Amino acid sequence: MIRIYSLFCIFAFCVSAASAQPERWQQRVQYVMDIDMDAPKNQYTGYQQLTYTNNSPDTLWQVFYHLYFNAFQPGSMMDTRSRSLPDADPRVSDRISKLKPEEYGYIQVSALSHNGKPVRFETNETILEVTLNEPVLPGASAVFEMRWKAQVPLQIRRSGRDNREGVRFSMAQWYPKMCEYDYQGWHSNAYIAREFYGVWGDFDVTIHIDREYIVAAGGYLQNPQETGYGYEAADQQVERPAGKKLRWHFKTPNVHDFVWAADPEFTQVVHRTQDGTVMRFFWQKGLGYDAQWEKLPAIMDRARTLINERFGVYPYKEYAFIQGGDGGMEYPLATLITGNRSLMSLVGVSVHEHLHSWYQMILGTNESLYAWMDEGFTSYAEDIVMNELAREDLLPGKKADFNPLVGAYDGYVNLALSGKEEPLSTHADHFATNYAYGVAAYVKGAVFLSQLEYIIGKSAFQKGLLRYYNTWKFKHPNVNDCVRIFEKQSGLELDWYKEDWVNTLNTIDYALKSVEKEGRKTTKVTIERIGLMAMPLDIRVTYTDGDIEWFYAPLESMRGAKPKEDKEPRTLLPDHRWVDPVYTFDIPEKMKKIARIDIDPAGGMADVKRDNNSYVAPD
């Protein structure tokens, strides 16, 4: 009886623990890859054994792989798209159309088997379509074995060889990668320029490359005593095996991608961080930017501490900042960034790309569908962290701002007034211009969070950010999942915010229409809602003696009010209803004169026309 009773207790505990977490099944991958690089030819051959676990309730008769390198051939979807956009990315522009065959990128799959038996496959540009002989049943695992030949493209976008700073290999999006299958089905989007989505799992990657190359990667090197180049422990004797090539064996647990880079001129600096991890810095020394790179480790260490506190704890043991690519691009446990930058720019890009570890690598939003939940949230966090680093005097020349998101609000307002805006819910690949995509994803997405803080208050917002991370890490949250966290944390209803800000182009514009004396006892204030999007209203009244008093009108749709957080007195007004074109309230007469009244003086709302937000009393 005791035994049965305790089993029951364990069962009850498991059920209650599980129900605290959201249910969202995830597919699982386990990659073992062996890569033989021919560096002088910019080609490699690859072998991959992929153990794929179907945790979905569905029977899979097909699977799909990304073959990203195939985008770098004239006439590809990426090339065609770039040449037909009105404002092409200058890094791509028409450059793909001009590649010579030895500059193309390709991945040519020569053999693929499923549980030991060959399967039919067809290459459709950047997607490999595989028809299975036998299905992968719900809950079952399948082993796919693949062999392929690849050519590393001349660096055009993100990955490639010989980037403009002379880094030989920036190896991103470089291997056949299983597409994600989730509750919305397959995501076998052709690669046309932007955004990624992937399956979490474990990577075991062995790279054989000419021995003068130093390899940097998003992973833990397993054989530092055979490679050296700064990876070896202080007391470790490096013994490089004989032969033309060295073997580099990396393992990375629980990630959805694997990146590496290689160059004979890399130097490596290893830094142990306050939180007990290792940061590695790889750049080409002696080209005029060593001073900035040498200052970077201490600053990134401090940034990491700030990020851990504010946005959630980094769960991996290492992170590498690697010179490469064509700007800054994020990967699990590593980033590729260009190296020739001012200190401010180097720190800015490093902070931004590292923060993607939180929003793209660990939360892993589907960037194609919700680019703004990755780029926007990352940009928001970057502004907060950069502002704090400036406040601590770690960024010479940068001053801390009262509202570090000021630039983001301005960028969004410019887009909203430009006539070029498209809803945030637009698929990342389908925006009509790069401008609309860029501002929507990076800026309107950042303002989403900052404005949320205005709506629910600082305390619930900051707790909500951590709760979002801790609840949804490794689960691919969507916009609703995110908004629900902040609803639970604040006790306020927020669906109206999501509907307006994400799914429409409705804008916010409130105006102080009139301020009138009503008899001797009160001053009547009338606020006009000009924009279609309604918001709760923070109104500040400043008296001629400098005293401040707040009036706060919650939005009826919120079903509540944000708590008072300012030190000055606040009057809670009746709800402001979203249908009302005007909202009026009374200020009871005091023994002092009103100097001015301002709607949202801190700029928490993305009001597209701020010059009508204030009333200044005549002298």
- Which residues of the chain form contacts with Zn ion (CB under 5 A)? 375
Give Cα separations from 6 to 2, 9, 17, 18, 396 (angstroms).
Answer: 6, 5, 16, 18, 61
Q: Quick one: 375 or 421, whose CB is closer to Zn ion?
A: 375
Closest approach of Zn ion to the CB of residue 267, in Å:
26
Q: Quick one: 182 or 375, whose CB is closer to Zn ion?
A: 375
Q: Quick one: 318 or 375, whose CB is closer to Zn ion?
A: 375
Closest approach of Zn ion to the CB of residue 442, in Å:
7
Q: Which residues are 583's β-sheet partners?
A: 527
Give Cα separations from 540 to 488, 552, 601 (angstroms).
Answer: 28, 9, 7
Q: Quick one: 250 or 359, whose CB is closer to Zn ion?
A: 359
Q: Quick one: 180 or 375, whose CB is closer to Zn ion?
A: 375
Give Cα separations from 240 to 237, 243, 248, 414 (angstroms).
Answer: 10, 9, 11, 57
Q: Quick one: 411 or 554, whose CB is closer to Zn ion?
A: 411
Q: Quick one: 446 or 608, whose CB is closer to Zn ion?
A: 446
Q: What angle (nearest 5°) sits at the alpha carbon of residue 16, between those of residues 10 and 19?
A: 135
Closest approach of Zn ion to the CB of residue 353, in Å:
7
**What is the token pair recorded at 588?**
């009871």
- Asked if 170 contacts 160 with a C-beta cutoff of 8 angstroms, the reply is yes
Closest approach of Zn ion to the CB of residue 16, in Å:
38
**What is the token pair recorded at 562?**
């944000």
- Asked if 109 contacts 128 with a C-beta cutoff of 8 angstroms, the reply is yes
Q: 451-487: string of b/e by CB count within 10 Å (b at 16+)?
A: bbbbbbbeebbeebbbbbbebbbebbbbbebbbbbbb
Closest approach of Zn ion to the CB of residue 289, in Å:
22
Closest approach of Zn ion to the CB of residue 187, in Å:
20
What pairing do the DSSP bridges indicate for beta strands 318-323 and 278-284? parallel
Q: Quick one: 46 or 328, whose CB is closer to Zn ion?
A: 328
Helix (H, G, I), strand (E, B) or coil at 332: coil
Contacts of 28 (CB under 8 A, 6+ apart): 52, 53, 55, 199, 200, 201
Closest approach of Zn ion to the CB of residue 152, in Å:
23
Q: Which residue is nearest to Zn ion (CB)?
A: 375
**What is the token pair recorded at 52?**
């794929």
Closest approach of Zn ion to the CB of residue 374, in Å:
7
Contacts of 368 (CB under 8 A, 6+ apart): 187, 189, 195, 196, 197, 427, 428, 429
Q: Quick one: 158 or 476, whose CB is closer to Zn ion?
A: 158
Contacts of 434 (CB under 8 A, 6+ apart): 85, 87, 88, 89
Give Cα separations from 128 to 70, 124, 229 (angstroms).
Answer: 11, 6, 37
Closest approach of Zn ion to the CB of residue 371, in Å:
9
What pairing do the DSSP bridges indicate for beta strands 548-553 and 334-337? unpaired
Closest approach of Zn ion to the CB of residue 314, in Å:
17
Q: Quick one: 188 or 350, whose CB is closer to Zn ion?
A: 350
Number of alpha helices (DSSP H) and beta strands (DSSP E) in the chain: 13, 31
